[in-house]
Amino acid sequence: MGNFQELRVWQLAKDLAVKIYRLTKTPGLSKDYGLKDQIQRSAVSIPANIAEGDELDTNKQSVRHFYIAKGSVAELQTLLIISNEIDYIDKQSLDLLNNECNIISVMLNKLIKVRGAE
What's domain 4-117's superfamily in CATH?
23S rRNA-intervening sequence (1.20.1440.60)
Name the band, by pLDDT with cuts 50, 70 and 90, for residue 7: very high
- pLDDT exceeds cutoff 70 at 79: yes
Instruction: Name the pLDDT band for 1 (thresholds 50, 70, 90).
Output: low
Domain boundaries, the chain: 4-117
First and final CA of the chain: distance in angstroms? Answer: 12
**Quick check: 1 and 55 in contact, CB under 8 A?**
yes
DSSP result, 24-37:
TTSHHHHH-HHHHH
At 22-35, the pLDDT tens digits run: 999 998 899 999 99
Q: What is the pLDDT of residues 20-69, one digit of tens each?
A: 999 999 988 999 999 999 999 999 999 999 999 999 978 999 999 999 99
Task: Tell me the CA distances in angstroms from 27 to 1, 17, 64, 87, 109, one per residue in order.
Answer: 41, 18, 36, 11, 35
Mean pLDDT of 2-23: 95
